[in-house]
Chains A and B, each alone.
Chain A
C-alpha cells in the first residue's frame, strides 16, 4: 500500500470553540432586544443606551484583560479586587484634590500594581505555590494592610482626573475608548509578539515550552505583572468615577471572581493555553447585556445574583459539552 492511497487530511472546518463566545454574545444581544421589545421599552434600544451599558463594565473589562493573561499561562489571580481597592485609595490619597499630584498618583498606583504582580509571579513560579493560594494570600495581605490605615473614603480626586471616568469624545466616553485601545494592544501582544506566543506555549504545555528553550518562569511573572497593572488601572478608573477611593470598592464589585467568570465565558480555558482577549471582551459584553436585561425586566437583585450564577455555569457547561462532542 503506497502513501498515495490514504486520503489527504481534510482542512480544519468550522471550529466551534473559536466562535462560541460570539454565538453566546449574539444570543445575549437577541435576548436583550426581545426583552426590550416585549416589555415595550424600545427606548433602551438606542445607541446611547448601548454605550451606557458598556460604560458600566469598564472596570471589569480592564481587570478581565489582565486576568486573561494569567489564565492563559495556566495561573490565576484572586488578588485583583483587593488591589483595585488599594490603588484607588492610594491614588485618591496621593492626589488629595491637587491636580499637580495626578501624575505622581498614577505612577504610584502603577508601581504598586507592578510590585504586587511581581510578588505574585515570583511566589507562583519560583516557590511553586499553587496560584489560587498564592494570590488568595496576597489578597488578604493587601486587604489587611489597607483596612489598618483607612476605613472609609479617603482623599479626593481633582476634577481634571475625573475626565478619565466622565469625559466624552463625541458621544463616546473616554474610558470606553481607553478600554478598546487596551484590548487592541493586548490582542496585538498575544497575536503578533514572541512574548504572546510564549504565553500560549507555557500555558499549553510548560514542559514543552521549557524544552524549547523558553524561560517559562519569566513568562509567568510577566503575565502576573500585566494582570496586576491592569487591576491598578481599574482602581484608578474607579477612583476617578467615585471621585475618591474607599477600601471596599474592589470587594464590592466582586472583581476577582467576576473577572475570572468573564474570561472563562469568553472561551479561555482555565487550564491555560487557549483563548484570547476578544473572547474576554465578548464575555464582558455578555455580562453587561444580561445585567441590562435584568434591569429592563425588573428582576430583583437577589434573583439577579442567582441567575448570574446559573448563566456562568451554563455557559461553561455549554463549552464542555460541545468540545466533548467534537472529540468523540
Chain B
C-alpha cells in the first residue's frame, strides 16, 4: 500500500457560533479515488477549503508527502500540486482553452512575448489525455463550449499544473448520463496516472462506479470510513444517522387525482414542437430528457418567459395565453427555478422578505409592504413555519440558509399566491439527502392540497421515485409517456431515441 500523499489529522475549525469540523482525520493515496460524502453542512467544503488554503484550521495538521504544510493562499496549494475543481468553474469564458490552461503562467518566447504555439501544443498534449480531449480546439473560446466540455477544460487545467491531488466537488451536478460516463473515464485515467482524487458527491451510483475508499462526514465529524465501497444503505445510514425507507413519498392514489389543471395541445415555438400534455390536480408529473431536449424550454413556455407561438393552453379549464411570467403568475402558475441563487432569491434580503417577494410584486404601489392582498407578514411566517424552515430568525439574510431551506422558502412564497400549477426545475439540485426527502414529501403534500405539480429533473431515480406519471422529451417533442415506475433504461431509450444500447 502506497503512502498517503495527503494526510489531514485532527482538523478542527470553528466559525462564530458553529463548530464546522472537530478532530477530522482524512487521507488520500496516489492513484486512488477517495469519495467524501456527507449532507450539506456536514463539513465537506470546509475540509476542502482548509486543504487548499482558503481557510486555516484552528487545530490539527495537514501533511503532504509526510511533510507538514501550511498554505496561506489557494495559489500556494495549487503550486504544491493540489487542484480543486469547484462546481462553479473558475474559467474565463471570453478566453481560449489554451489561454485558460496557462492563465497567469503563459510560456514566454522571444522579447518576452507569449509563445502562443507552445501554449497551443502543450494544451493539445494535455487534452489528448482525455477521451474527448482530441475534439476540443485549444483556440476556441471557453464560453462557446458546453458545460461538460468546460469541466474537461477545468480538469485539463489541473493536470497541466501537474496536480498530484485533484479535488472534484460534485462534478456531475450539471451533466447528463453520457457526459457523466465520459467524466468517469477521465477519472479512471487520472487514477491510472497516479493522481490522488478526492471526489465529493451525494450520488451512490457514482460512489459504486468510481470510489476505492469512502469517508462519510456528519455534523463536522467522521461518521464512517470504508476501505471498500459498501452497500449504498450503509453509506446513507452513516450520512443521515437513520434509515430512510420512506425516502420518496408514496405515489398518488386514483382518488387523489382530479381534473386536469393544465392542458397543452399542439404547443410550439422555436424550441418546442407539437407539445400535447396535461397535468391533473393532485398529480406529480415528471419531465425527463437529456440536456437540451426542451424541458426547460417547455417550462419557460408555460411560465410565459418564452411563450408558445402555436397551439392552445388551458388552465383550470379556461383558455389562456401568457406573454410574460407576470401573466402566468396571476393566472395561478408558480415556478421554482433550477438556479435558486441567480433566479429564485434576493440573497441579501431576509427570509421573510424573500417570502413576500411575489405577493408584493402584485400589490399596488401605495400598499403597505407588510400587508398585501395575497399575504401579510403573519401569513408568510405561518407558511414558513409550515415548511419547517431552519433559520435562526426569519429576519436573517436568506443567503445564510442551506439549499434545502432556501428551496422551502421559495415554496412558501408561491403558496401565498395559492397556485393551481407549480413547476419545479431541478428541485433537489445541490440539496442534501435528508432535505431531498423533505422536498419530495412537500411536493406530495402540495399535490394532495389540490395543486398540479410539474417536476423537471435530470436525476432519473428522482423522477422515477417521485412522479406519478413521466413525460420524456427529446429534441423539443414529447417522445414518450410512462405511468409511475418505469426503469431508468426505459426512460433513457425514449430520451435518446435509441432502440437498443449494447453497453
Q: Spell out A's residues near B (CB within 8 Å).
A: 1-3, 5-6, 8-9, 11-12, 15, 192-194, 197-198, 200-201, 204-205, 207-214, 273-274, 328
Contact = CB atoms under 8 A, between A and B. Distances in A.
A10 B101 CA distance: 21
Nearest to A194: B106
Contacts of A198: 104
B75 interface: yes
Contact of A9 (B146, B181, B496): B146
B415 to A, nearest CB: 31
A212 B182 contact: no
A211 B76 CA distance: 9
Interface-central residue, B135, B146, B149, by most chain A CB under 10 Å:
B135
A201 B492 CA distance: 40
B75 A213 contact: yes
B181 A3 contact: yes
A3 B141 CA distance: 23
30 contacts: A1-B178, A1-B492, A1-B496, A3-B132, A3-B178, A6-B182, A9-B135, A9-B136, A9-B146, A9-B149, A11-B137, A12-B137, A12-B144, A15-B144, A192-B113, A194-B108, A200-B94, A204-B94, A205-B90, A205-B91, A205-B92, A208-B103, A209-B104, A211-B74, A211-B78, A211-B90, A212-B90, A213-B78, A214-B103, A328-B306
Interface of B: 74-75, 78-79, 90-95, 99, 103-106, 108, 112-114, 116, 131-132, 135-137, 140-141, 144-146, 149, 177-179, 181-182, 185, 306, 492, 496, 498, 501, 503
8 smallest CB-CB distances across A and B, nearest first, come from: A212-B104, A208-B90, A204-B92, A212-B103, A213-B75, A274-B94, A192-B113, A214-B104
Contacts of B74: 211
A203 B50 CA distance: 28
Interface-central residue, A198, A210, A211, by most chain B CB under 10 Å:
A211
Contacts of B140: 11-12
Nearest to B161: A212
A210 B498 CA distance: 46
Contacts of A9: 135-136, 145-146, 149
A210 B135 CA distance: 29
A201 B141 contact: no
Given A201-B95, A212-B104, 12 more contacts: A1-B178, A2-B181, A3-B178, A3-B185, A8-B135, A11-B137, A12-B144, A15-B144, A197-B103, A200-B92, A200-B95, A212-B105
Contacts of B99: 197, 200
Contacts of A200: 92, 94-95, 99
A72 to B, nearest CB: 10
A229 B498 CA distance: 63
A213 B178 CA distance: 34
A201 B503 contact: no
Nearest to A327: B143
Contacts of B146: 9
Contacts of B79: 213
A5 B106 CA distance: 35
B77 to A, nearest CB: 10
A205 B146 CA distance: 19
B114 A1 contact: no
A193 B113 contact: yes
Given A12-B144, A211-B90, A214-B104, A204 B95 contact: yes
Contacts of B132: 3
A47 B477 CA distance: 58
Contacts of B75: 210-213
Nearest to B179: A6
A12 B104 CA distance: 25
Given A3-B131, A8-B135, A214-B104, A207 B94 contact: no
Contacts of B105: 212-213
Nearest to B95: A200
A57 B182 CA distance: 54
B106 A197 contact: yes
A198 B132 CA distance: 29
A2 B503 contact: yes
Contacts of B492: 1
Nearest to A17: B94
A201 B103 contact: yes
A80 B113 CA distance: 30
Contacts of B135: 8-9
A136 B93 CA distance: 31
B407 to A, nearest CB: 26
Contact of A273 (B94, B131, B306): B94
A186 to B, nearest CB: 15
Nearest to B177: A1
Contacts of B94: 200, 204, 273-274
Nearest to B290: A6
A192 to B, nearest CB: 5
Nearest to A326: B144
Contacts of A6: 178-179, 182
A204 B498 CA distance: 41
A6 B148 CA distance: 12
Contacts of A204: 92-95
Interface-central residue, B113, B145, B501, by most chain A CB under 10 Å:
B113
Contact of A1 (B95, B104, B131, B181): B181
Contacts of B145: 9
A15 to B, nearest CB: 8
A198 B140 CA distance: 18
A101 B266 CA distance: 81
A204 B144 CA distance: 15
B501 A1 contact: yes
A207 B135 CA distance: 29
A3 B182 contact: yes
A194 B105 CA distance: 8
Nearest to B270: A328
Contacts of B185: 3
Nearest to A197: B106
A328 B270 CA distance: 10
B92 A1 contact: no
Nearest to B136: A9
B141 A5 contact: no
Contacts of A273: 92, 94
A73 to B, nearest CB: 13
